Structure 1
Amino acid sequence: MVKWFWQRRPEGRQLTLRSRGDFGDAVRVDFAELAPDVDRFLGQAAYLQLGYFETITRLIRATDDLEEKEALSRAAGAALTKHRGLTDLIVERGKSPTALMLPFREELDAFRRKTIGKRPRETMLSVHITAGMLDDFYLALASSYGDTGRRVARILGADNDRAQIAEIMHQTITSDDEWRWLLSMWGRRLVGDTLLVARAALASDRLDTEDEKRVEPVFTALMGGHARRMDAMGLAS
Structure 2
Amino acid sequence: MFEWLRSLRKKVGKLVLPDREERSARNKNKINLKPYTPEPKAYLGQLAYLLLSNFEILTNELKYAPTTQYKAELSEAAAKSFEKYRTVSKKLSGLGVDVTDSMDPFTERIDTFHSRTSGVDWYEAIIKVYLVSGLLDDFYKRLAVGLNSELRDSVEKALSDKTFEKFAQKVITEGKAMNPELDSRLALWGRRLMGDVLLEVRAAFDNRKLAGIDKSASLSAEQERKVNLESYSKIEPLISEMIAAHSLRMDSIGLAA
Instruction: Give me the TM-score of the superposition, normalised by structure 1.
Output: 0.85
Aligned 8 A contact 1:126 1:187 in 2: yes
Give the direction of change, closer, same or farther, for the CA distance of 1:96–1:125 in structure 2 (3 Å limit).
same
2: CA distance, partners of 1:46 / 1:37? 14
Aligned twin of 2:139: 137
In the alignment, which residue of structure 1 is the partner of 2:129?
A: 127
In structure 2, the residue matched to 1:236 is 256
- State the structure with more CA Rg: 2
| Worse-matched range after superposition: 105-114 or 95-104 | 105-114
CA separation of 1:77 and 1:128: change in aligned 2, threshold 3 A: same
Distance in structure 2 (CA, Å) of the matches to 1:4 and 1:48: 31
SS of corresponding position for 1:165: helix
The reply on whether 1:187 has 2:190 as its aligned counterpart is yes
Q: Structure with the greater relative contact order (CA < 8 A, sep ≥ 6): 1 or 2?
A: 1
CA distance in 2, matches of 1:60, 1:161: 13
The alpha-carbon deviation at position 55 of structure 1 amounts to: 0.3
Matched, 1:217 2:219: no
Asked if structure 1 preserves the Cα contact closer than 8 Å seen for 2:87 and 2:154, the reply is no
* 1:36 is aligned to 2:38: yes
Deviation sequence 1:124-143 (CA, Å, 0-9, x none)? 11010100110011011001
- Tell me which of 154, 158, 162 is aligned to 2:161: 158
The answer as to 2:152 corresponding to 1:149 is: yes
Q: Structure 1 10/70 Cα, relative in aligned 2: closer, same or farther at 3 Å?
A: farther
1:176 aligned residue (179, 187, 199) = 179
> Which one has the bigger helix percentage?
2
Q: Cα RMSD between the aligned structures? A: 2.2
Question: Counterparts in 2 of 1:45-56, with a 5 A limit?
Answer: 45-56=47-58
**Aligned ranges 1:5-44 → 2 under 5 Å:** 10-12=28-30, 29-44=31-46
Report the Cα offset of residue 61 of structure 1: 1.5
Is 1:184–1:236's contact at 8 Å kept on the other side of the alignment? yes
Letter in 2 for 1:200: A
- Equivalence for 1:65: 67
- Shift in Å, 1:57: 0.5
Q: Alpha-carbon deviations, 1:84-134, whole Å to 9, x = none?
A: 000001111111110000111111111112222111111111010100110
What residue identity is the alignment partner of 1:82?
Answer: K
Q: Which runs of 4+ in 1 moved over 4 A?
A: 205-211
Aligned-pair identity (%): 30
